[in-house]
Amino acid sequence: MSTRPAPRMPAHRVDLLSYEGLAEHDVQQVTSLLGRLVDGGAALGWVAAPTTAEIGELVERLAAGIESGETAVAIARRGDEITGFAFWARYTRPTFRPHVDIEKVAVAPEAQGRGVGKGLMEALIHAARHHGTEVVTLDLRGDNKAAIGLYESLGFTRYGRLPDFVAVGQERFDTLLYSLDLRR
């Protein structure tokens, strides 16, 4: 029996997406990641797994806004495998232009609890600061205790709750509204 420790797997690396977007195989990995999460009941805004075409269009739209600061996308990888995907978009209303909204944060089940979500969020917050953002907002389903803990640990504060706002079949969940003021 060997007493040698098992080889360590490479750590998860988080990078911001460039305006060039993602290669097709990466789009397929993001589609697979989101599909697995949605099929498992994750609150990501889809009731059925998104298609590769939908995610390809989403990534293309997000990549088009990166240089101008309209969007930011963070990708987590472990080796060649995408283990996390998150993004924000700038508000389009003229009076809300100084602010961005984090629209999706998705972490592979096997990577949850390993700092991937925190890395994605820190990258998005860094990008928001870089682009002169004043306030970062996000909303989440009220039963997502792990995400609530993560966001609060990063300095987000809850400013609202919409009771029974999210409908998943016959189930209803509260939506919680959070913000991070970067003006301080």
pLDDT at residue 108 in the model: 97
Domains and CATH numbers, the chain: 13-134 (3.40.630.30)
The dihedral sign for the CA sequence 54, 58, 61, 63: negative
Looking at the DSSP assignment, which residues form a beta bridge with residue 72? 88
The dihedral sign for the CA sequence 155, 122, 132, 26: negative
Q: How far is CA 123 from CA 6, 17, 50, 144, in A?
A: 30, 10, 24, 21
Using the 8-state DSSP alphabet, how is residue 144 labeled? -
- Distance from C-alpha of 163 to C-alpha of 176, rounded to nearest angstrom: 9
Q: What's the average pLDDT block by block, 10 residues per block, for the chain (184 residues)?
A: 55 91 94 96 89 96 96 96 97 96 97 96 97 98 95 98 91 96 93
